[in-house]
Amino acid sequence: MGRVRAFGYLVATVKDIEAWKVFAADVHGMQIVEHTEDRLKLRLDERAWRIDLHRGEVEHIDAVGWEVRGPEDIEALEKALIDHGYSTRRASAEEAAYRQVTDYLAFTDPDGHGIEVYYGQHRESTPFVSPTGARFVTEGMGIGHVMFAVSESAPFRELYMDILGLGLSDFIDIGPDPGTFLHCNPRHHSVAFAHRPGFGPRLGHLMVQVDNLDTVGRAYDRILEGAAPLGATLGKHTNDEMISYYVKTPSGWEMEYGYGGLEIDEDTWVPGRWNAAHFWGHQRVG
Ligand SMILES: [Fe+2]
């Protein structure tokens, strides 16, 4: 049976491409691959791209991309999805070429977010060059993690654990419904979700990780100077030990910008259950 190996890309429809250019490249150090009034495509590492934003009137998550090792995994996951009642669609050759992957499978999650399972993403022979000197931690672990505020946790546990094959990292009791944190490589979690009355369903945040605390601190200074609205102050998470801050993206959902996330050994990891999400900091702002 196939399973996903990394959260590898994000495609979204956004209203304000120019604000995103400042936010993603100038403040947070992502490299611009393509920038027009209708599109902003970004690199974080040797891959041809990791984040692809298209201008549109309605903000939407078009694709959370999950990487697999090859066509056998795509076929196995397609069968498992169909067996669990999902409608799936295989990309045409033109669509795969547009995504710069070899092949992908598309479906929507129970809350309507686009999900893609892909393999063979294009790599660039030219080096990644950050406008701020940031180096993103992606090797063998994808671009980071996504956290969703979901309408109900059970169907998401089925999707990510039973079908896509992620393992349980831990729970955090952050409300009546515990947050569920799942891994598919050494990164402590690649996806998390929780049902919180009054929130969502929607993408809560995208986390990207850099290799130096000073890179986080310099970007934090820019946020405090007004570059973008802070969501939560600098703090340290309990479960993945990430030192990070949260900032509102131009799309309303947040980005977590962090350093020092825990890497786990999938074979020996034993899930726990935390009573809080933070050791210190992460005070909500606004
Ligand atoms: Fe996070």
pLDDT in tens, 193-238: 999 888 889 999 999 999 999 999 999 999 999 999 999 999 999 9
- Within this chain, do residues 79 and 173 fall inside the same structural domain, yes or no? no
User: Which of 172, 151, 122, 171 has the alpha carbon at shortest distance from 277?
Assistant: 172
**92 secondary structure, DSSP code:** P
Q: Bridge partners of 194?
A: 149
**How far is the centre of ligand 1, averaged over its atoms, from the C-alpha of 209 (Å)?**
10
Answer whether residue 276 is part of any domain: yes
Say yes or no: 275 and 148 in one domain: yes
Which of 119, 136, 152 is the endpoint of a domain? 119
Parent domain of 260: 144-281
**Residues surrounding ion ligand 1 at CB below 5 Å:** 207, 256
Residue 138 in domain: no
Q: 193 CA to middle of ligand 1, Å? A: 10
Domain co-membership, 94 together with 160: no
- Kindly state whether residue 149 falls inside one of the protein's structural domains: yes
Q: What is the mean pLDDT of residues 49-54?
A: 98
What's the pLDDT at 286? 66
209 lies in the same domain as 103: no
End residue of a domain, out of 84, 119, 154: 119
Kindly report whether the global pTM for this prediction surpasses the value 0.95: yes
> pLDDT tens for residues 241-263?
999 999 999 999 999 999 999 99
Q: Does 170 lie in the same domain as 98?
A: no
Flag whether 1 is in a domain.
no
Query: Is 103 part of any domain?
Result: yes
Residues 182 and 115 in one domain: no
Residue 57's CATH number: 3.10.180.10
Same domain, 107 and 202: no
Q: How far is the CA of 34 from the centre of ligand 1 (A)?
A: 27
Mean pLDDT of 266-284: 97
Sign of CA dihedral 65, 178, 258, 182: negative
DSSP class of residue 123 equals B
Distance 126 CA to ligand 1 centre (A): 30
CA of 207 to the centre of ligand 1 (A): 5
Do 138 and 150 touch, CB atoms closer than 8 A? no
| Beta strands across the sheet bearing 272-274 | 272-274, 167-172, 179-183, 191-194, 144-149, 202-210, 254-259, 243-248, 230-237, 278-281
CB 261 within 8 A of CB 239: no
Q: Please calculate the CA angle 10-175-145 and round it to the nearest 5 degrees.
A: 20
| 110 upstream amide cis, omega within 30 of 0 | no
- Mean pLDDT (the chain) is 97
For residue 136, being part of any structural domain is answered with no
Whether residue 220 lies inside any domain: the answer is: yes
Residue 46's Cβ-count burial label (10 Å; 0-12, 13-18, 19+) is middle
Structural domain count, the chain: 2
| Whether pLDDT at 108 is above 70 | yes
Does residue 53 fall inside a structural domain?
yes
Distance CA 96, CA 65 (A): 12
